[in-house]
Amino acid sequence: MFKVNTRFPLLSSLYGRIFAIFWLTLLLVLIGVVIGPNFDPRSRHNIAAEHLTKMTQIAAYITGKYSERDNLKKTLKEISHRAHRHDENLDLFFTTPTGEILDKPRELRGRKKALLNFLTLSDNPELPQQKLYGRTMMAGPFDIVIAHETVYMYVGRYWKKPPPFILRILDKPGQLLLVTMLVSTPFLLWLAWALSQPARRLQKAAERVAKGQFEKDKDLEKGPREFRKTGQSFNQMVGSLNTMISGQQRLLSDISHELRSPLTRLRMATALATRKQGESAELSRIDMEADRLEQMISELLELSRIQVNSHQEREKTDAYSLWFDILEDAKFEAEHLNKVLTYSDLKETPIFGNPNLLMSAVENVIRNAIKYGNDVVTVNINDTGKTLTIIVDDNGEGVPEDELQDIFKPFYRVSTARDRSSGGTGLGLAITESAIYQHNGTIIASRSPLGGLRMTITLPIE
């Protein structure tokens, strides 16, 4: 069985819809231009049935009453006078079958051009017609007999009705343009909606991916053909990312197992050697380096997990719940080190993210300030309405200006303070930066007014 495509192929594409709406608008305007003149009383056309019947009755009445008279001109004047007296907006004109005007009343002076023109257009009493000249509607001819002679009767009536709306539009280009715009507006709105809906869905999907939510969205594969293709490619990309992340997770698990196993055997061997030979500087050095290597492996795996899994556990929380206990613990720890830590008031500012990562990132920065500051550490937390800014200052030795951007690189240490004797691995700030970036935030290092290092963290408010 063949599958029948019930959708019109031209309208399934974006360019096809734009093209179709453009020509549909022009077609509607063209139809109005072509059909409009048919309703124009200024054009010659057949008399409406009800008016034709009335005029035919008038012609029959005149024939029946005046056909036996003797004086034609006198009878014509009498008929015209009575018709005008009966209806001041009505005038009757009479001609011979050859088109010669028989009666020239005073009213003809203002309508002579209209009558003469109409005589050339309509001279068949079998098919009487009408045409508007200014405010005068001419109709006829009607075959009548007066004073034993055959004459043609034409009816002139004052036209009170305004021109039809469509004709007033066609007569004025400005109004025609305005109506064209109004007619095309619904189609253009529909086109704008058809374009914006898939674009908005694609935007929201991209924002979700930017936040680390690698989820396919079947709605992306709807709409015009170009957007459907883009949505399919986007979902394929998300699927490839998920496959890559799964592979990386397996690789991290394997690395963790393969690295920790020999490290565990090394530490067991060191412990046995110490039991047999006693303490020595060499064995202590091996044990210290093993501890450092284990810490480095743990932090390296933590960094990788942050970059891969941070989107999996996100929730709505607030600044007070995240960092109040951390600040209190840091203040207590600083006091035991004979240092002073102060922080500004915490508010319940809403934040969406991974609570563990956000707490770990800020705690890492604060503990670094306590560790490398001399005796003063300040933490200022400001809510600007759209972002939350956390500024941590210390009065330590600080970081040289040319190395401020490098301290976030993995394994990078500043020679003045972050050397191997400090016990650091050079991964703490890299982990912090990755956690902040995973939440669409920023972290910047600069010189502190206190003389040491200033760390500025900015996070979006939910």
The residues that are catalytic are 257
Radius of gyration for the chain, computed over Cα atoms and rounded to the nearest angstrom: 48
Distances (CA, A) of 97 to 109, 146, 153, 205: 22, 13, 10, 83
Cα separation, 40 vs 373, in Å, equals 92
**What is the rounded distance in angstroms from the CA atom of residue 116 to the CA atom of residue 347?**
93
For the chain, how far is it from start to end, CA to CA, in angstroms? Answer: 53
**How is residue 220 annotated by DSSP?**
G
Q: Which residue has the tokens 């005589």?
A: 119
Instruction: Check if the beta carbon of residue 462 is closer than 8 Å to that of residue 349.
Output: no
Helix (H) and strand (E) counts in the chain: 11, 12
Give φ, ψ of 446 to 5 degrees: -155, 175
**Of 395, 402, 363, 361, which Cα lies nearest the Cα of 378?**
395
Tokens of 80: 């015209």
CA distance 199 to 219: 11
Looking from the CA of 303 toward its CB, the CA atoms found within 13 Å total 20
Beta strand 340-343 pairing with 136-146: unpaired
Q: What are phi and psi of 423, to 5 degrees?
A: 85, 0
Closest CA to 215 of 205, 202, 227, 223: 205
Write the DSSP symbol of residue 101: B
- Residue 335: burial class (beta carbons within 10 Å; 0-12, 13-18, 19+): exposed
DSSP 452: S
